[in-house]
Structure 1
Amino acid sequence: MSASETVPARIRPGGFRELGPLNWIIAKLGARAIRAPRFALFNVIGQHQLLFLAWLPYSGMLLGLGKLPRQEAELVILRVGHLRDCEYELQQHRRLARSRGVDLETQARIFEGPDAEGLTDRQRVLITATDEFVITRSMSAETWTALSTYLTKKQLIEFCMLASQYDGLAATMATLKIPLDFPN
């Protein structure tokens, strides 16, 4: 099946009745923010009302209020999306990364991997650390030492939480078969 073919969602994006008034409003505001008719991720996860309300601030903290620079958070998220072949995650974060200063050339380098020409040493270490974290569920002593030269203790903790958050989201989106917000 090609990427352009649609796969039926296992849990279809809900509306007002399924989300409830608060989550419906949040989903509508999210859709407006991403300039889409709906925000399918919110319209699916929002059907578990309390879990959604607990997850949203945590996710928002990692995405925009954390200790990692936003460009580096996007680098990690894009790499996770690439490793997990998660088109939903990639579609959302290619756009967001551009708005945060990660141009298309840099994104292509992130997808190519840590040996891509034009990456900084810091970017190479972040990509290598993301690869190890996602693939092995840990990190070698050598990679940890290299990452520790660039990140503070709080940033190291956040790196792990960010990579695991987006790895878990990729698995959730793949399992639930959440439809793309921008199918074309």
Structure 2
Amino acid sequence: MSSPARIPPGGLRELGPINWVIAKLGARAIRAPRFSLVNVLGQHKLLFLAWLPYSGILLGLFSKLPVQDAETVILRIGHLRDCEYELQQHRRLAKTRGIGPDLQAKIFEGPDAEGLTDRQRTLITATDEFVVTRGVSAETWAALAGHLTKAQLIEFCMLASQYDGLAATIATLKVPLDFPD
């Protein structure tokens, strides 16, 4: 990001001991010197501790959506919102979850990209509608319901809103990237 962070990533004093340890463990998990998002959000101690398990559930811990579906939605939102921070994190994570660079390029291209499955097209279309119109059309919902259970449909909505809101938060706070690329 070209402009400075509005709330710079904090250290032990700003995060407190619990959030500082969480930030250090998170940085180790992503193999970065610092996990900027955690080092920024962790400065609101209680809100961060409430948000963290919710995010963990959406990212796979007790998730109802298959991880490839979740990463498809997250990558598409990062692309639609031009959120380089989300894209940088989830390009890496998606690779470990079976979504390599070729499939990622198709996700960025959109639902009409050649080589996508019907499920992937439907997820991308639903994500586009959710982010752009703040809802999902009846036709797209019916297609999505053909692929997902009721619990997964609910989770799709919560995942899309979480990552759309997170992209807005990252952009507004100007959270610095974790990796030089």
Taking structure 1 as the reference length, the TM-score comes to 0.97
Please give the alpha-carbon distance, in whole angstroms, between the structure 2 residues aligned to 1:109 and 1:176: 29
Find the counterpart in structure 1 of residue 4 from structure 2: 8
Describe the SS at the equivalent of 1:150.
coil
Please give the alpha-carbon distance, in whole angstroms, between the structure 2 residues aligned to 1:6 and 1:134: 25
Question: Match for 1:171 among 140, 143, 168?
Answer: 168
Find the counterpart in structure 2 of residue 95 from structure 1: 92
Is 1:74 the counterpart of 2:71? The answer is yes
Is 1:17 the counterpart of 2:34? The answer is no
Find the counterpart in structure 1 of residue 114 from structure 2: 117
By how many angstroms is 1:183 displaced?
2.6
Segments of structure 2 that go 5 or more residues without pairing to the other structure are none
Identity %: 79
Q: CA RMSD in A?
A: 0.7
1:7-156 matches, cutoff 5 A: 7-65=3-61, 66-156=63-153
Q: How many residues align?
A: 180
By how many angstroms is 1:64 displaced?
1.1
Please give the alpha-carbon distance, in whole angstroms, between the structure 1 residues aligned to 2:65 and 2:108: 20
Please give the alpha-carbon distance, in whole angstroms, between the structure 1 residues aligned to 2:118 and 2:29: 33
Deviations 1:87-122 (A, max 9, x none): 000000000000001011000000000000000011
1:43 maps to amino acid: N
By how many angstroms is 1:7 displaced?
1.5
Taking structure 2 as the reference length, the TM-score comes to 0.98
Please give the alpha-carbon distance, in whole angstroms, between the structure 1 residues aligned to 2:107 and 2:150: 24
Please give the alpha-carbon distance, in whole angstroms, between the structure 1 residues aligned to 2:96 and 2:160: 20
Segments of structure 1 that go 5 or more residues without pairing to the other structure are none
1:72 maps to amino acid: D
Please give the alpha-carbon distance, in whole angstroms, between the structure 1 residues aligned to 2:145 and 2:19: 39
2:112 maps to amino acid: D
Please give the alpha-carbon distance, in whole angstroms, between the structure 1 residues aligned to 2:39 and 2:30: 13
Describe the SS at the equivalent of 2:146.
helix
Please give the alpha-carbon distance, in whole angstroms, between the structure 2 residues aligned to 1:6 and 1:77: 23
